[in-house]
């Protein structure tokens, strides 16, 4: 008898542990898993494998959604629920629905709000492979609506941008095989997923900034990540080798952002790792985010350091322009002011010269080119050239005076905002 009782208790304990709860304490509401404020709705939500943090593949037996205590769903209770696997992490547009052919219907019927919860029990469990991400889809089929204080009834939490796609309207029940265009959201349902066992350690955070393999990151970046459900704090490590901690070693942070106390080195590859902590447990096997910092300030950042063109045609590609400073402020010598960018110079011989600025394919950088004569301490405007838009070339041809030195400043066209420069090539040709 004692053995049977012990086995029963162990079985109950296992069943209670075989569930994954995500942000069930959230107090925000949104259009997920359904809309209570419109007659009909269809909602798809993506829960990444990393967020689920399950120990292994398993059978999902049900879902629990959480309702605002003041909300009603009496007229929003006719549900059809679907589950599926997906490799997507986000929806790329309002029509980027996961096809119905990739979903399995797991429930159809009437749901009720009990103790501020809606529990959906599957007639047949869904086998989650713990390899792909999980998509949860639901449509609400009743024509009537519930009038709630916040329009919508269900608890949601912020997560990866565009991880939810929803349609809500009053015209007709949605056909999941041909859903209309929807709206993307940056939140998901607070949910308990029954049947999966969570790892004993908390999930690894999703790092929002910087992106993996990002280039030209500033020397004083603010690292940002999404909160992990149940995490008390986070640990930040930063190194110059994969897995390294030579820059920051397991710095404990209670917020979801962190700025290093000392500037990083320019033109350097870094590896960022952030783990989450719950009690004495820390997430494991979290991946590094690799990024590189901006290059040093260009040698031709100021007029006094202008690169001299002495042989023509002269061509130079400014790959480190993003690190240019605005020095003493905006250049106002020409009537059309501009950012202080990078500088070039050449000496006229009485003939004609053409100066051309081009950007790499796909670039949206919109530069202005101002040409001056004289000296850095006493510039005279020859011309301000800003005829094209983002990515367009700028060209100017003029007749020089023999023995006169000309200076060319290539910078962002903005005259009241210090904007970063970007990669460009300059060509100076003697005609």
Q: Alpha-carbon Rg of the chain, whole angstroms?
A: 30
Rounded (5°) CA angle 277-281-287? 60
Query: CB-side exposure of 45: number of CA atoms within 13 Å?
Result: 24
In angstroms, the CA 21 to CA 76 distance is: 24
The stretch 148-164 carries a mean pLDDT of 92
Burial of 290 (0-12, 13-18, 19+ CB in 10 A): middle
**Does the pLDDT at position 241 exceed 50?**
yes
Whole-number percent of the chain with pLDDT over 90: 92
DSSP string over 372-425: EEEETTEEEEEEEE--S-TT--EEEEEEPPTT-EEEEEEEES-SSS------EE
The pLDDT of residue 149 = 75
Q: In the prediction, which pLDDT does 150 show?
A: 78
Residue of 37, 169, 27, 176 lying closest to 99 (CA atoms): 176
Judge contact between 297 and 270, C-beta under 8 A. Answer: no
Average pLDDT over all residues of the chain:
94
- Position 50 pLDDT exceeds 80: yes
Integer CA distances (angstroms), 364 to 303, 387, 390, in order: 25, 14, 4
251 phi-psi bin (left φ>0, alpha ψ -120 to 50, beta other): beta
Strand ranges across the sheet with 191-194: 19-22, 191-194, 58-66, 117-128
Backbone angles phi, psi at 14, to 5 degrees: -65, -45
Run of H or E including 429: strand 424-430
User: Is residue 244 pLDDT above 70, yes or no?
Assistant: yes
Q: What is the CATH number of domain 303-430?
A: 2.60.120.380
Cis-peptide, bond into residue 313, ω within 30° of zero: yes
DSSP β-ladder status, 367-375 and 378-385: antiparallel
8 Å CB contact between 338 and 324: no
pLDDT at residue 10 is higher than 50:
no
DSSP symbols for 84-107 = EEES-SS--STT-PPPGGGEEEEE
Q: In this predicted model, what pLDDT tens digit does every residue of 337-357 receive, in sequence order?
A: 999 999 999 999 999 999 999
Distance of CA 376 to the CA centre of its chain: 42
Tokens matching residue 265: 């080195």
CB 20 within 8 A of CB 192: yes
Note the pLDDT of residue 17.
58
Give the model's pLDDT for residue 293.
Answer: 97
**What is the CA angle 62-35-86, rounded to 5?**
50
Residue 6 has what pLDDT?
37
User: Which residues fall within 8 angstroms of residue 361, CB to CB, at 6 or more apart?
Assistant: none
> Helix or strand or coil: residue 127?
strand
Give the CA distances from residue 427 to residues 194, 299, 301, 334, in Å, rounded to whole numbers and listed in that order: 65, 18, 18, 22
For residues 204 and 50, what is the distance between their CA atoms, to the nearest angstrom?
7
Nearest to 430 by CA among 362, 325, 349, 335: 349
Q: Given a cut of 70, is residue 16 above it in pLDDT?
A: no
CA dist 10 and 218 (Å) reads: 53
Residue 148's pLDDT is 84
SS3 label, residue 3: helix
**Is the confidence at residue 246, as pLDDT, over 80?**
yes
Q: Which CATH architecture is the domain 207-293 placed in?
A: Sandwich (2.60)
* pLDDT value, residue 14: 41
pLDDT digits (tens, 9 = 90+) for 352-410: 999 999 999 999 999 999 999 999 999 999 999 999 999 999 999 999 999 999 999 99
Domain 18-194 fold is: Jelly Rolls (2.60.120)
Q: How far apart are CA 205 and CA 275, in angstroms?
A: 6
Mean pLDDT of 68-88: 96
Q: Break the chain into its structural domains and give their ranges.
A: 18-194, 207-293, 303-430
- The pLDDT of residue 1 is above 70: no
Q: In whole angstroms, what is the distance from residue 22 CA to residue 420 CA?
A: 40
Does 191 score more than 70 pLDDT?
yes
Q: What share of the chain has pLDDT > 70, as a percent?
A: 96
First to last CA, the chain: 103
Identical fold for domains 207-293 and 303-430, yes or no, is: no
β-sheet bridge partners, residue 343: 409
């Amino acid at each position: 008898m004692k053995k049977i009782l012990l086995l029963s208790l162990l079985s109950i304990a296992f069943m209670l542990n075989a569930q994954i709860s995500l942000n069930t304490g959230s107090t925000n509401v949104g259009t997920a898993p359904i809309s209570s404020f419109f007659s009909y709705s269809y909602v798809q939500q993506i829960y990444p494998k990393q967020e689920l943090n399950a120990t292994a593949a398993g059978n999902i037996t049900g879902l629990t959604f959480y309702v605002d205590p003041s909300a009603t769903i009496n007229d929003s209770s006719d549900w059809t629920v679907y589950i599926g696997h997906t490799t997507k992490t986000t929806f790329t547009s309002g029509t980027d629905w996961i096809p119905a052919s990739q979903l399995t219907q797991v429930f159809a019927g009437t749901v009720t709000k009990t103790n501020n919860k809606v529990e959906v029990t599957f007639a047949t469990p869904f086998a989650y492979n713990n390899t792909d991400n999980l998509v949860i889809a639901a449509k609400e089929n009743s024509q009537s609506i519930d009038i709630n204080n916040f329009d919508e009834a269900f608890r949601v939490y912020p997560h990866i941008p565009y991880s939810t796609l929803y349609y809500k309207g009053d015209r007709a029940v949605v056909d999941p095989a041909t859903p209309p265009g929807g709206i993307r959201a940056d939140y998901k349902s607070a949910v308990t997923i029954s049947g999966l066992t969570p790892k004993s350690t908390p999930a690894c955070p999703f790092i929002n900034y910087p992106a993996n393999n990002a280039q030209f990151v500033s020397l004083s970046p603010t690292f940002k990540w999404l909160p992990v459900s149940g995490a008390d704090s986070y640990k930040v490590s930063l190194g110059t080798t994969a897995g390294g901690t030579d820059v920051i070693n397991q710095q404990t942070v209670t917020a979801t952002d962190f700025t290093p106390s000392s500037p990083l080195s320019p033109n350097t590859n870094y590896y960022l790792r952030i783990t989450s902590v719950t009690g004495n447990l820390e997430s494991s096997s979290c991946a590094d985010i690799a990024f590189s910092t901006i290059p040093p300030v260009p040698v031709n950042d100021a007029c006094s350091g202008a690169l001299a063109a002495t042989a023509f045609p002269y061509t130079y590609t400014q790959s480190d322009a993003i690190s240019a400073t605005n020095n003493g402020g905006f250049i106002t010598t020409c009537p059309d002011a501009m950012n202080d960018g990078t500088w070039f110079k050449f000496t006229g011989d009485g003939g004609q010269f053409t100066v051309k600025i081009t950007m790499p394919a796909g670039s949206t950088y919109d530069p202005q080119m101002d040409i001056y004569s004289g000296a850095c301490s006493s510039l005279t405007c020859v011309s301000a050239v800003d005829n094209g838009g983002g990515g367009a070339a700028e060209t100017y041809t003029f007749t020089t005076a023999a023995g006169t030195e000309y200076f060319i400043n290539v910078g962002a066209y903005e005259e009241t905002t210090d904007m970063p420069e970007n990669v460009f090539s300059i060509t100076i040709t003697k005609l």
